[in-house]
Amino acid sequence: MTDLRSQLRGLWLPLITPFRNGELDNTSLRRLVRHYCTLPIDGLILAATTGEGLTLSAEETAQLVAVVRDEATGIREALPICLGLSGSDTRRLTDTLTRTAAWPIDGYLISCPYYSRPTQAGMIRHFGALADEATHPVMIYNIPYRTGVNLGNDAMLQLAEHPNIVGLKDCCAIRAQSVELQRRRPARFAVLTGEDAQTYDALADGADGAILASAHIETGAFASVVRLLAAGDRDAALIHWQTVSHLTKLLFSEPSPAPIKHWLWRIGLIDSPELRLPMTEVSPELAVRLDREIASRANAAATATAGAHFRSR
């Protein structure tokens, strides 16, 4: 386990959950972990939106966490891992926190209650009750276009004073709100953007890092954007950003994580692009676009490698 508060920076990956024939695909899962643990990521989120957490049973979620931690420990023992949770029943989520207290995780990413659309006061009490119960630190996930409710900055800052609430995945999609939060937040409250297409702007505005589904692809380039902006080198960061920015649109042109799973399947990292209903695989039209992009990037990489070999002779 790591001190999560000190680790909430850089590039975090909300790992997809591979399935095959209706079951959790442990072989592909281990292959994914081995692959990404060799790349410059700073943490993993499991069983969240990209990981299709709402479709996982409690037993599958436990298995997912155990396999990822086991595989990661042999490569990057200190890599922090957070478990994604969501729900609109505070009592039920409290029970989940109790059930998972001994799991080999470093924290939780908990989304705002969905569908019920509670008041700001209701969300303050909701997250406060969860943070009181949680054995591990809590990150809040504010994504109003999925949940139907926006956790405003006044409420967020009140929650940021709780000793067990350590950060935010910010998907409010309102830049002015995000900028104001950057200005007003406590020093030890981390903000990581989760808006893939707005990553450069959010980091330039002062976010500590990013949780990006798109970073399953071209992980190193996304990591360079985060690292260079943290160092204040906006020009160099922009060069890297321009190589991947259109991926953030392509990979979300149909509901995520279907396009990401298709890509990972095509390059052999997972054995099937299978998703669980109501999510479905990409359309034939998008599959053609994705395959074309994969081929283009493979050809560009091969050309660059050949050029480097020639120059070294």
The answer to whether the peptide bond before residue 257 is cis (omega within 30 degrees of 0) is yes
DSSP state of 114: P
For 55, counting Cβ atoms within 10 Å of its Cβ (0-12 exposed, 13-18 middle, 19+ buried), the class is: middle
Has residue 77 got a pLDDT over 90?
A: no
Query: Which residue reads 């509670």 in tokens?
Result: 118
Q: Residue 87 CB: number of other CB atoms within 10 A?
A: 17
- Provide the 3-class DSSP secondary structure of residue 195: coil
Q: How far apart are CA 14 and CA 5, in angstroms?
A: 18
Confidence of residue 2 (pLDDT cuts 50, 70, 90): low
pLDDT at 3: 84
Query: Which residue reads 């692009």 in tokens?
Result: 273
Confidence of residue 303 (pLDDT cuts 50, 70, 90): confident
Looking only at the bridges linking them, the beta strands covering 209-211 and 190-193 are parallel
pLDDT at 311: 62
Catalytic residue (one of 108, 114, 115, 141): 141
Has residue 105 got a pLDDT over 90?
A: yes
For the stretch 153-179, pLDDT in tens is: 999 999 999 999 999 999 999 999 999
One-character DSSP codes across 221-236: HHHHHHHHHHTT-HHH
Has residue 264 got a pLDDT over 90?
A: yes
Q: How far apart are CA 285 and CA 282, in angstroms?
A: 8
Is 4-242 a CATH 3.20.20.70 domain? yes
Q: How far apart are CA 151 and CA 125, in angstroms?
A: 12
pLDDT at 310: 56
pLDDT at 263: 98
- Look up 141 and say whether it is catalytic: yes
Q: Residue 112 CB: number of other CB atoms within 10 A?
A: 23
Q: How far apart are CA 226 and CA 209, in angstroms?
A: 6
pLDDT at 300: 86
Q: Round to the nearest angstrom and report the end-to-end CA distance of the chain.
A: 46
Task: Compute the average pLDDT of residues 25-32.
Answer: 98
Task: Compute the average pLDDT of residues 132-146.
Answer: 97
Q: How far apart are CA 19 and CA 68, in angstroms?
A: 15
Q: How far apart are CA 167 and CA 183, in angstroms?
A: 15
Has residue 1 got a pLDDT over 60?
A: no
- Look up 36 and say whether it is catalytic: no
Task: Compute the average pLDDT of residues 47-76.
Answer: 97
Confidence of residue 301 (pLDDT cuts 50, 70, 90): confident
Q: Which of 174, 205, 207, 177 minimizes the C-alpha distance to 193? A: 207
Task: Compute the average pLDDT of residues 82-100.
Answer: 97
Q: Which of 64, 61, 131 minimizes the C-alpha distance to 94? A: 131
- Provide the 3-class DSSP secondary structure of residue 58: helix
Q: Give me the percent of the chain exceeding a pLDDT of 70.
A: 96
Task: Compute the average pLDDT of residues 233-251.
Answer: 97
Has residue 180 got a pLDDT over 60?
A: yes
For the stretch 287-296, pLDDT in tens is: 999 999 999 9
Q: What is the mean pLDDT of the chain?
A: 95
13-22, 69-78, 228-237: least confidently modelled range: 69-78
DSSP state of 254: S
> Would you say the C-alpha torsion 111, 251, 258, 43 has a positive or negative sign?
negative
Q: Residue 289: left if φ>0, alpha if ψ -120 to 50, beta else—which one? A: alpha
Catalytic residue (one of 169, 200, 249, 261): 169
Has residue 32 got a pLDDT over 70?
A: yes
**pTM of the predicted model as reported, rounded to 2 decimal places:** 0.95
Q: Could you tell me if 204 and 4 are in contact, meaning their C-beta atoms sit under 8 angstroms apart?
A: no
Has residue 307 got a pLDDT over 70?
A: no
Has residue 267 got a pLDDT over 90?
A: yes
